[in-house]
């Protein structure tokens, strides 16, 4: 970690010299961001690589896999995050019970990985299947489970102690926490089981104008913060209550509809208003158990059903209405999924076995199995990203 510390000291000297940050005020951080956030990454990610953290309490690491021409995955290395993994009480196949714990910013060439057990976030520079650790920062909350990235803003969702979100300004490949970008969610931390009553995901809305948080069974709501002067999130969110739905994960479709995976067994779509309101468009049942994760590519959506070991496919129309396109079997414990940047491959974690199943995406979103790779030390793990 000494090289990392030297880099951070050098970074702070630069920021002081340029007057970019003064006492970490939100205004001065925002003034610094446009000049430095667009600094090109040393290495840009290349296609056909998958990144899978281990979430090991003894020391988290990212397992890296190259993709062959036929879509199959092949081990290419392992990189420690200098943090530790963790597990929510009651979780079995999904120890973080969240979506978005691992995020690849393809434009900036950076990979973000939460360390739930050490309350920190690791930032890697990406060069294809090689990673270089650039920063590790405290998340200013307990048990981080989800990350959202928009340009030079990075938000982390902390799950325990009632839940909170903390915002960071990205300066090159380093993060600076902004005190005024912190919001407590005020959920009840005593309700059991813990893994169903902690918040599930933080995500930016279209154009980065809003910040959305799913509360799962803790409040059965989607909380939407709007951004004010100097990027500050609103003091309180606009709350859309969804009684009994257990909103778990969020995606934006090709037309910026908000698509929600509901653990009660549904996929729902909403139109997001300027002030954080959500207007319901459609809801379709999956007829499967524990519909908790969702991934989109163009007009196609796939929801992961952890309790049924399946993926449910949907086509989303221009209006936001949903049409089921089929169901695909996976290995047990279907959790987080990712689609490659070229839209050809879908990779999904199957947490009961610690594996990743790969599918070829065909016409109309049809999925054809390609193969399965065992990721060492990841039973119960969730969180992956692909380039």
197-245 tens-digit pLDDT: 999 999 999 999 999 999 999 999 999 999 998 999 999 999 999 999 9
Contacts 24+ apart (CB under 8 A), 215-218: 215/163, 215/185, 215/187, 215/247, 216/97, 216/246, 216/247, 216/248, 216/263, 217/191, 217/246, 217/263, 218/163, 218/187, 218/188, 218/191
pLDDT tier for residue 274 given thresholds of 50, 70 and 90: confident
DSSP state letter for 254: T
DSSP state at residue 365 = G
Tens-place pLDDT, residues 330-360 = 999 999 999 999 999 999 999 999 999 999 9
Instruction: Extract the tokens encoding 255.
Output: 């037309």
Beta carbons within 10 angstroms of residue 136's beta carbon: 19
**288 vs 40, higher pLDDT:** 288
Domain residue limits, the chain: 2-386
Q: Which CATH number among 1.10.3470.10, 2.130.10.10, 3.40.50.2000, 3.10.290.10 corresponds to the domain 2-386?
A: 2.130.10.10
Do 152 and 173 touch, CB atoms closer than 8 A?
A: no
Encode pLDDT of 40-68 as tens digits: 444 444 568 999 999 999 999 999 999 99
**Percent of the chain's residues with pLDDT above 90:** 87
| Percent of the chain residues past pLDDT 70, beyond the cut | 88
pLDDT digits (tens, 9 = 90+) for 306-328: 999 999 999 999 999 999 999 99
Residue 17: what pLDDT?
A: 39
At 246 the three-state DSSP class reads coil
Contacts of 327 (CB under 8 A, 6+ apart): 288, 310, 311, 312, 313
In sequence order, what E strands does 231-333 have? Answer: 238-241, 247-252, 258-262, 266-272, 278-285, 291-297, 300-305, 310-316, 322-329
Q: Give the residue from 151, 157, 296 showing the smallest Cα distance to 209.
A: 151
The alpha-helical segments, DSSP class H, found in the chain are 2-18, 26-37
User: 201-222 burial, b for 16+ CB within 10 Å, e for fewer?
Assistant: bbbbbeeeebbbbbbbbbbbbb
Q: Are 142 and 119 in contact (CB under 8 A)?
A: yes
Per-residue b or e along 161-196, where b marks 16 or more CB atoms closer than 10 Å to that residue's CB: ebbbbbbbbbbbbbbbbbeebbbebebeeeeeebbb
pLDDT number for residue 288: 99
Closest CA to 316 of 275, 266, 259: 259
- One-character DSSP codes across 153-165: EEEEEE-STT-EE
In the numeric block, which tokens belong to residue 275?
A: 């002030």
Q: Chain-centre distance of CA 211, in angstroms?
A: 13
How many Å apart are CA 95 and CA 108, to the nearest integer? 29
Q: What share of the chain is helix, strand, coil (3-state, %, to 5)?
A: 10, 45, 40
């Amino acid at each position: 970690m000494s090289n990392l510390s030297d880099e951070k000291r050098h970074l702070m000297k630069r920021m002081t010299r340029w007057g970019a940050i003064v006492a970490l005020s939100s205004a001065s951080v925002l003034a610094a961001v446009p000049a430095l956030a667009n600094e090109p990454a040393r290495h840009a990610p290349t296609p056909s690589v998958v990144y899978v953290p281990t979430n090991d309490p003894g020391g988290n690491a990212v397992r890296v896999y190259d993709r062959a021409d036929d879509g199959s995955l092949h081990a290419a290395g392992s990189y420690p995050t200098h943090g530790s993994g963790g597990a929510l009480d009651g979780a079995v196949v999904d120890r973080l019970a969240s979506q978005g714990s691992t995020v690849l910013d393809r434009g900036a060439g950076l990979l973000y990985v939460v360390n739930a057990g050490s309350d920190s976030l690791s930032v890697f520079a990406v060069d294809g299947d090689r990673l270089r650790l650039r920063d590790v920062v405290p998340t200013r909350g307990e048990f981080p489970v989800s990350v959202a990235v928009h340009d030079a803003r990075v938000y982390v969702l902390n799950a325990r102690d009632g839940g909170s979100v903390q915002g960071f300004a990205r300066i090159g490949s380093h993060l600076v926490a902004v005190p005024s970008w912190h919001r407590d969610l005020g959920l009840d931390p005593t309700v059991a089981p813990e893994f169903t009553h902690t918040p599930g995901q933080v995500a930016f809305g279209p154009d980065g104008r809003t910040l959305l948080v799913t509360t799962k069974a803790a409040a059965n709501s989607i909380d939407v913060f709007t951004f004010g002067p100097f990027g500050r999130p609103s003091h309180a969110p606009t709350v859309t209550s969804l009684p009994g739905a257990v909103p778990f994960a969020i995606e934006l479709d090709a037309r910026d509809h908000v698509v929600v995976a509901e653990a009660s067994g549904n996929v729902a779509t909403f139109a997001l208003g300027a002030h954080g309101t959500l207007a319901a468009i459609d809801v379709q049942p999956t007829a499967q158990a524990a519909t908790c994760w969702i991934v989109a590519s163009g007009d196609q959506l796939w929801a992961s059903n952890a309790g049924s070991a399946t993926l449910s496919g949907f086509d989303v129309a221009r209006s936001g209405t949903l049409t089921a396109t089929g169901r695909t079997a996976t290995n047990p414990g279907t959790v987080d999924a990712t689609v490659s940047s070229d839209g050809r491959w879908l990779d999904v974690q199957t947490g009961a076995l610690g594996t990743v199943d790969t599918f070829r995406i065909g016409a109309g979103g049809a999925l054809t199995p390609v193969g399965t790779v065992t990721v060492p030390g990841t039973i119960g793990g969730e969180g992956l990203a692909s380039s």
